[in-house]
Structure 1
Amino acid sequence: MYLATEVYLVRHGETMFNQLNKVQGWCDSPLTVKGIDDLKRTADALAQVHFDNMYSSDLKRAIDTVHLMKNANIVSKIGKIKKLPEFREVFFGSFEGDDINETWKQVALAAGIGPVDDVQKIINQIGIYKFREATKEADPRHLAENKQELDERMVRAIDVLHDLTKNEKRVLLVSHGDFIKTLAIKYWEKSDGLHDVPFPDNGSVTRGILHDDGKFEIVDYNVNAENL
């Protein structure tokens, strides 16, 4: 018998690539001192929240983050952390590790709007889904995830999590900013499913409910430690 499962989605802490303004999807870089300090505040805020289990993306910045959450929690008995590649960050293909502003210029040119280097301005002009298509088109190897590929992975991620948590009432899962944002566009009650939502902060918590029939909904989005 399946139970409804409360899911605390935590975005990993700030990384070196975040700090250096580099594209970071499936590529990885270590957490910064600031990133660790911010995560400690989140971990302290969740220290007395009981979790039946904790999970993370299989990228190291997420794994390091989940262990900070696990080590600070004083009311949960968590065993080995299961790593879920389905919850990796959005994949940016050939742009991985490149300067982020130069990357967005190329995406904007592929979208036909000129060399704009501000990602939010691009999304505001063409929408989040055309932005995904333009990113794939601009990628010289066309490896970057487009809307369909990302949507299929999100659905698969929820299905995997549903199977894993069938006897768990509350779990914590560390994922990534763009992936959590895209989940919110699809599953948040305050999103119409078409337009962009704010990017979640490093160390923030997004809370969802995974129902016994496999349906997922986000009920709180991008909550920082002081508001937990």
Structure 2
Amino acid sequence: MRVLNLYLVRHGQTYYNIFNKLQGWSNSPLTQRGIDGAKDIGQRLAEVPFAGAFCSDTGRAIATAKIVLAENQVSNIKDPKPVSYFREEFYGYYEGTDMNQAWYLAAGPHGLKNFPQIVEKYSFDTAKDFLKEADPFGLAENHEEYWNRIDQGFALISSDESLHDGDNVLVISHGNTLLSLMDRYAAGRYDLSERPANGSLTKLRLVDGQIEVVSYNE
């Protein structure tokens, strides 16, 4: 049995975060607060020896990863490995759209008004499906497309022969992805009405490729 300790960090604050815009595969730069937040979590993790570092290939995730690794005092890794599998959910036509407006359009045909109502009545996966249904181009990811991609990311880490039992691995992630992971694997242990903070830490264990949740949004 091989256990890998995954340290999932949500990227630092971006301008789209301030503007309340959906930011999946699209990207906006880190704000100064986002840069400072990345430095803060980097300092919190400065004594954690990382054997590997992965991030989505979006600019905000790469920038956050480099800042976190620059603060680390006990790892030889200076640059993360960008992986497209770890991108945020793809919102298709609604990329860059006001978050409330996009979810209103997705929820409306089902007699609901917003994202929280979809999740309360159905699930996070259903929200993905509803947004794809509302996308006039049909490009937004439904839950099957989303999880097929994300699962490949964790499989990539699990199959990395440079990683050994007990190793620590840094993964720079995204807000909705962290919520989705908790919804799928945390068995209701956390209040998911609160989004994970920019620069927050969530810990997972990858046990022979299977995900176990250790903590959320620290």
Output the TM-score relative to the length of structure 2. Answer: 0.91
CA contact under 8 A between 2:106 and 2:131: conserved in structure 1? yes
When residues 56 and 68 of structure 1 are mapped into structure 2, their CA distance, relative to the original with a 3 A threshold, is: same
Alpha-carbon shift at residue 191 of structure 1 (Å): 5.0
Alignment map for 1:207-226 (pairs within 5 Å)? 207-211=203-207, 213-223=208-218
When residues 127 and 214 of structure 1 are mapped into structure 2, their CA distance, relative to the original with a 3 A threshold, is: closer
Alignment map for 1:94-105 (pairs within 5 Å)? 94-105=93-104
Alignment map for 1:77-96 (pairs within 5 Å)? 77-96=76-95
Q: Tell me what 1:180 maps to.
A: 178
- Which consecutive unaligned segments of at least 5 residues does structure 1 have? 224-228
CA contact under 8 A between 2:66 and 2:79: conserved in structure 1? no
Alpha-carbon shift at residue 165 of structure 1 (Å): 5.8
Q: Tell me what 2:45 maps to.
A: 46
- Note the aligned Cα RMSD (angstroms): 2.0
Deviations 1:104-150 (A, max 9, x none): 1101113232xx2x422332233323222111111111111111111
Deviations 1:47-96 (A, max 9, x none): 11111121111111000000010110111111442111111000100000
Q: Tell me what 1:158 maps to.
A: 154
Q: Could you tell me the percent identity over the aligned residues? A: 37
Aligned residues: 216
CA contact under 8 A between 1:128 and 1:196: conserved in structure 2? no
Q: Tell me what 1:226 maps to.
A: none
Q: Tell me what 1:19 maps to.
A: 18
SS in 2 for 1:218: strand
CA contact under 8 A between 2:66 and 2:78: conserved in structure 1? no
Deviations 1:11-51 (A, max 9, x none): 00110101111111000000011111222211111111111
- Which consecutive unaligned segments of at least 5 residues does structure 2 have? none
SS in 1 for 2:116: helix
Asked if 1:74 corresponds to 2:69, the answer is: no
CA contact under 8 A between 1:10 and 1:203: conserved in structure 2? yes
When residues 99 and 189 of structure 1 are mapped into structure 2, their CA distance, relative to the original with a 3 A threshold, is: closer
- Alpha-carbon distance in structure 1 between the residues aligned to 2:78 and 2:159: 18
- Alpha-carbon distance in structure 1 between the residues aligned to 2:9 and 2:23: 17
Q: Tell me what 1:57 maps to.
A: 56
CA contact under 8 A between 2:8 and 2:201: conserved in structure 1? yes
Alignment map for 1:138-153 (pairs within 5 Å)? 138-153=134-149
